[in-house]
Structure 1
Amino acid sequence: MDMTREVTHEERGPAILDESDTGDDGKIYVCQCGLSDSKPLCDGSHNATADEADGVVYKYANDDADGERREVGKVEDDDQ
């Protein structure tokens, strides 16, 4: 099961990426956890989620990896 978190998105348009967004390895890393301070790019904030439990929904204060994390719900398993 995947870990889940509630993230507030405020942008109303797309991010445009170019060659300046590539890392030293020539790749572009896109944030999927929702906690990066440099969205849509990954800044490593996902490391704060390493100990999240499966099936639990978390909310980080101000969508910040350093913010207080609290449990806000459970994910229902549709297979049961």
Structure 2
Amino acid sequence: MSRLVELDATGPKKLDESDLDPEKGDIAVCQCGLSGAFPFCDGSHRRTESEDGDACYRYIGGDGSQQPKTVARVVYQDGTTEGVDE
């Protein structure tokens, strides 16, 4: 399974001691791209549990209400296309 993720940051987030969760004592960095607390994990990845391993998804919406849509192909600005299952 894959996911199309749109990000607007222009650099990395550097983590330090102040990023530690006082209750859990750890740092969980988002790897699914859906977290409302990005770059930190907020558990939003649980919405991906039913994803088909052979499909590509784009999550539409905001404020934690993103709904998954399957992607058949990607069309680039120059007019070229790419099928997800190619």
Q: What TM-score comes out, normalization by structure 2 length?
A: 0.73
| Structure whose CA Rg is larger | 2
What residue identity is the alignment partner of 2:2? T
Residues 6-57 of structure 1 show CA distances to partners (whole Å, capped at 9, x for unaligned) of 0001100121222222122321100000000111100100011010001100
Decide whether the 8 Å contact of 1:36 with 1:64 is kept in 2: no
For the residue of structure 1 that corresponds to 2:58, the secondary structure is: strand
Q: Higher relative contact order by CA 8 Å / sep ≥ 6: 1 or 2?
A: 1
Identical columns (%):
43
Q: What TM-score comes out, normalization by structure 1 length?
A: 0.78
More helix by percentage = 1
Q: Counterparts of 1:39 and 1:11 in 2: how far apart (Å)?
A: 10
Listed as ranges, the gaps of 5+ residues in structure 2 are 73-83
Listed as ranges, the gaps of 5+ residues in structure 1 are none
